[in-house]
């Protein structure tokens, strides 16, 4: 993920410049190294989650970085055909650009989560900027579908204690993942499916993407998800949204 991470850090620095931050202000942005998420999950067991309970064969499909008109609509078609609910972590900027896809995602029974506004690594932001990105995304989602989001996924999964406190104080649970398909690499569908089938366990939270850079082709994800669902159903798995998997809605 190093190339992708480097790309977005460059984008973030452009964002700082465009937002009018001086060199001195930019230098004060928190640039601490991330804390391993396994440690954070132990330090914040009521806030940071990788997976759900393992007592039932339930799993959650999740999708990041959308909505994206090249992928999201086709993906929603597959989920509707298979009668499978999923959880979508939306970028605020893309939600604002494609409100009709946000409405369709919500109206078809999927759960909406917050993924920040511009996909900036949260640990590279000041606390104020981090809050602004999350709150701006929530504002956009609320304007479109009237929903208060309660789940947040940090871009790249990069966190530290300071930023967990920021997110926690905004009344969000932080949702990571236990299965990473790495489909953002535009991997062949069979490779994506193989990754899932080899690593899935009861309670798994599976990470996919329904949005990416404009030069990345994610159509393979749509094909892969259809195959995954078919194979996992044969293995006796059922699909739920993240809040149901973690029993937040009980």
Separation CA 158–CA 109 (nearest Å): 29
**Residue of 120, 106, 122 lying closest to 67 (CA atoms):** 106
Catalytic site includes residue 106: no
Cβ neighbors of 143 (< 8 A, separation 6 or more) are: none
Q: Which of 65, 208, 209, 243 is catalytic?
A: 209
Q: Which of 64, 65, 210, 243 is catalytic?
A: 64
What one-character DSSP code corresponds to residue 68? Answer: -
Catalytic site includes residue 243: no
Q: What are phi and psi of 180, to 5 degrees?
A: -110, 110
Q: What are phi and psi of 48, to 5 degrees?
A: -110, 125
Span between the terminal Cα atoms of the chain, in Å = 36
Separation CA 34–CA 12 (nearest Å): 17
Cβ neighbors of 19 (< 8 A, separation 6 or more) are: none
Helices (H), 111-188: 127-145, 161-169
Q: Do 168 and 46 contact (CB within 8 A), yes or no?
A: no
Q: What amino acid positions are annotated as catalytic residues? A: 64, 209
């Amino acid at each position: 993920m190093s190339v992708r991470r480097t790309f977005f850090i460059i984008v973030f620095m452009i964002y700082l410049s465009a937002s009018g931050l001086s060199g001195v202000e930019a230098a004060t942005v928190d640039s601490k190294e991330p804390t391993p998420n396994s440690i954070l999950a132990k330090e914040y067991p009521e806030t940071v989650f990788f997976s759900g309970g393992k007592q039932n064969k339930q799993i959650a499909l999740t999708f990041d970085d959308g909505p994206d008109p090249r992928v999201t609509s086709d993906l929603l078609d597959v989920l509707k055909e298979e009668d499978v609910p999923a959880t979508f972590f939306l970028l605020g900027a893309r939600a604002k650009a494609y409100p009709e896809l946000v409405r369709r995602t919500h109206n078809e029974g999927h759960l909406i989560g917050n993924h920040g506004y511009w996909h900036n690594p949260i640990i590279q932001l000041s606390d104020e900027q981090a809050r602004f990105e999350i709150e701006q995304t929530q504002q956009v989602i609320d304007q479109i579908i009237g929903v208060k989001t309660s789940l947040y996924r940090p871009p790249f999964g990069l966190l530290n204690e300071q930023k967990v406190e920021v997110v926690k104080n905004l009344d969000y649970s932080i949702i990571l993942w236990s299965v990473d398909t790495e489909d953002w690499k535009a991997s062949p569908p069979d490779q994506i499916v193989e990754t899932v089938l080899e690593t899935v366990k009861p309670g798994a939270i599976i990470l996919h993407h329904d949005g990416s850079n404009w030069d990345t082709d994610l159509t393979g994800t749509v094909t892969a998800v259809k195959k995954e669902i078919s194979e996992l159903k044969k293995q006796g798995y059922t699909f739920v949204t993240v809040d149901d998997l973690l029993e937040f809605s009980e």
